[in-house]
């Protein structure tokens, strides 16, 4: 496994790789890896000859007042895990290397970025689309792998890739959960034991919505009302949003169809958590 | 020469081209080719094994009320010229193929897009950056060739390419002029004989500014005052802007340095023309 710390060094490596004979896979992360990230790498291995993992805590996708500074970092642990997974290249660029002085271009994200996380975190998806475009152009992968926990991000990146004609296949990978149902997230480390217990209300609420749909409830408002009640009665938790959306456009739907997403975001103390499930399916499988 | 009319067809051709053994050059145009375009192709031939020319009148870079509908088009003439030049592939995509239903991503252009054409044509550079990104991703060239007549566009595209890390070398090519000094432009066809004569005031004004600088005038305001007088005294002509700018940032400079640009835009009747020259140099050479 080769650890690459500068854009210049990576460019020279990339020129030595043949796109014709080798399938290159990109797994972009912000580091502090968990089993969710590792599952992306294992899925990437099924498609690709060369796996490139990037660990970069991208400042531009954090909104002012968010946790950019204290976002968890543990480079040595990350590198050990990536080596274990047989990753070929790890890119650990510095912030100034990605955003040098004078940097001023960005991506105006597609329509699916509106509402939900796009509303709670203004500028977030612009930052995501910009860094993902930069990484796409740097790594020039054939495939790029994203976790479905960030469901709206997945829809946004798929639309951006299609709109801008990036010659890259986006592979969306299933959410990995703790045994009690909590979706894995680097931010779970922020949670105290008490908060950790309270955090479960999100996945339980989504699961309940799917059960209601199975029982014949197709009115999204009924599902949302029940869901909001669940979350609002949990102490120490503050609902950000709960929505039933079309899986591509991320527009609200009133009549639930199989394949629609039940999405939610909430604060447990100061920690913001998101999760989603798919009506009629539970967890969405790998998009491949 | 192969004429390609759909994105799908092009993608399959592109997959058959080897980036490892063949240098691919992109010359993006809006068609209605003149000697300026042909010079780009000839310069491209010096760098590349395969030349791809795109002819696409990009609607999103026209501002409401501009000449998108009546922009001159002559496909048969263009194809004959391109064949004569030994171009390998001509891409003539349809508007719906580039901007299918639901298209909603765009590029927020870099800082150098502010002011000048960016101010006179709000949204223009966003449209330019978006189509250029799409073409970059579709064609995946090693080199892309742009004419220096659109000086601010050149700076914007260079900054975008650098910021987003497109693995593409941008080559800026000299302005080609008619024998009387008028910069070649597809829009020159709009001009009546009378307007054609009046249009000369732009290049003459820029040339005069360069002469003043040669004579020791370094105060940009003095040069601009003289220039504005020239243009404002010409009948049937309306000044849009005249500026002395840093060649990279496109910010105004007060003390002229060699390499700074003298840029201008004006309307002759309803036709908008732009031009530029370089202090201490006259015409900027090919950036290679």
What CATH number did the domain enclosing A207 receive?
A: 3.30.1300.10
> Considering only residues 212 to 251 of chain A, which have any Cβ-Cβ distance to chain B shorter than 8 Å?
249
Beta strands in A148-278 (DSSP E): 169-173, 237-245, 261-268, 271-278
* pLDDT tens-digit map of B194-238: 999 999 999 999 999 999 999 999 999 999 999 999 999 999 999
**Residues A13 and A39 both lie in one domain:** yes
Q: Which of A173, A206, A229 is the last residue of a domain?
A: A173
Per-residue pLDDT tens over the stretch A172-215: 999 999 999 999 999 999 999 999 999 999 999 999 999 999 99
CA distance B168 to chain A (A): 10
CATH of the domain at A109: 3.40.50.620
A193, containing H or E segment: helix A193-214
Residue B105: CA count within 13 A, CB half-sphere: 27
**CA neighbor of B1 nearest in space, from B63, B84, B70, B122:** B84
- B7-25 pLDDT per residue, tens: 999 999 999 998 778 999 9
Overall domain count for chain B: 2
Are A68 and A105 members of one domain? yes
Please check whether residues A127 and A214 belong to one and the same domain. no
**Contact status of B140 with chain A (Cβ, < 8 Å):** yes
Q: Give yes or no: residues A148 and A270 share one domain.
A: no
Answer yes or no: do A18 and B20 touch at CB < 8 A: yes
Q: Domain check: are A160 and A56 in the same one? A: yes
Is A284 part of any domain?
A: no
| Domain containing residue A261 | 186-278
Structure token pair of residue B278? 């370089």
Query: Is A64's pLDDT higher than 70?
Result: yes
The predicted pLDDT at position B288 comes to 62
In tens, the pLDDT along A70-80 reads 999 999 999 99
Domain identity same for B162 and B205: no
DSSP string, chain B: -EEE--HHHHHHHHHHS-TTT--EEEEEE-SS--HHHHHHHHHHHHH-SEEEEEE---GGGSPTTSSTTTS---HHHHHHHHHHTT-SEEE---HHHHS-TT---EEE--GGGSSTHHHHSTTHHHHHHHHHHHHHHHH--SEEEEETTSHHHHHHHHHHHHHTT-S-EEEEE---B-TTSPBP-GGGGG--HHHHHHHHHHHHHHHHHHHHHHTT--BHHHHHHHHHHHHHTSTTEEEEEEEEE-TTT--B-SB--TT-EEEEEEEETTEEEEEEEETTTBS-----
Q: Same domain, yes or no, for A39 and A165?
A: yes
Neighbouring C-beta atoms of residue A180, cutoff 10 Å: 11
B82 within 8 A of B90, measured Cβ to Cβ: yes
Residues A134 and A258 in one domain: no
**Structural domain contains residue B181:** no
B287 part of a folded domain: no
Asked whether residue B219 is domain-assigned, the answer is yes
Tell me if A126 and B109 make a contact (CB, 8 A cut-off). Answer: no
Residue A123 and residue A229 in one domain = no
Determine, for residues B159 and A129 on separate chains, whether the beta-carbon distance falls below 8 Å: no
- CB contact A34 to B (< 8 Å): no
What is the full per-residue pLDDT of chain B (288 aa) written as tens digits?
999 999 999 999 999 998 778 999 999 999 999 999 999 999 999 999 999 999 999 999 999 999 999 999 999 999 999 999 999 999 999 999 999 999 999 999 999 999 999 999 999 999 999 999 999 999 999 999 999 999 999 999 999 999 999 999 999 999 999 999 999 999 999 999 999 999 999 999 999 999 999 999 999 999 999 999 999 999 999 999 999 999 999 999 999 999 999 999 999 999 999 999 999 988 888 886
B41 and B79 assigned to the same domain: yes
Find the closest chain A residue to B17 by CA distance.
A20
Check whether residue A129 and residue A226 sit in a common domain.
no
Where in the sequence numbering do the catalytic residues of A fall? 37
Cβ of residue B108 closer than 8 Å to a chain A Cβ: yes
Catalytic residues of B: 37
Pair (A17, A55) in one structural domain? yes
* Per-residue tokens: B64: 């409401």
Q: Which of B122, B140, B173 is the last residue of a domain?
A: B173
Q: Is A171 helix (H, G, I), strand (E, B) or coil?
A: strand
Q: Is B134 on the interface with A (CB under 8 A)?
A: yes
Whether residue A140 and residue B167 make contact (CB cut-off 8 A), yes or no, is yes
């Amino acid at each position: 496994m080769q650890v690459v710390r500068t854009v210049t060094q990576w460019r020279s490596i990339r020129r030595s790789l043949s796109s014709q004979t080798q399938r290159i896979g990109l797994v972009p992360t912000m580091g502090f890896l968990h089993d969710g990230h590792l599952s992306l790498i294992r899925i990437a291995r099924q498609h690709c000859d060369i796996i490139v993992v990037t660990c970069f805590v991208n400042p531009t996708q954090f909104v002012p007042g968010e946790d950019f500074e204290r976002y968890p970092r543990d480079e040595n642990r990350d590198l050990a895990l990536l080596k274990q997974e047989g990753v070929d290249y790890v890119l650990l660029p510095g912030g100034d290397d990605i955003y040098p002085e004078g940097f001023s271009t960005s991506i105006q994200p597609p329509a699916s970025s509106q509402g939900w996380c796009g509303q709670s975190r203004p500028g977030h998806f612009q930052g995501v689309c910009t860094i993902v475009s930069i990484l796409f152009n740097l790594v020039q992968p054939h495939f790029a792998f994203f976790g479905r926990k960030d469901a709206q991000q997945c829809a946004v990146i798929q639309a951006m890739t299609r709109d801008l004609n990036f010659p890259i296949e986006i592979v969306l990978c299933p959410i990995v959960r703790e045994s009690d149902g909590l979706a894995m997230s680097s931010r779970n480390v922020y949670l105290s034991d008490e908060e950790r217990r309270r955090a479960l209300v999100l996945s339980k609420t989504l699961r309940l919505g799917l059960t209601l749909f199975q029982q014949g409830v197709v009115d999204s408002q009924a599902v949302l009302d029940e869901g909001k009640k669940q979350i609002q009665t949990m102490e120490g938790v503050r609902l950000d949003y709960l929505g039933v959306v079309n899986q591509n456009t991320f527009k609200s739907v009133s009549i639930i169809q199989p394949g629609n997403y039940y999405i939610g975001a909430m604060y447990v103390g100061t920690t913001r958590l998101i999760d989603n499930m798919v009506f009629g399916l539970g967890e969405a499988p790998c998009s491949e």
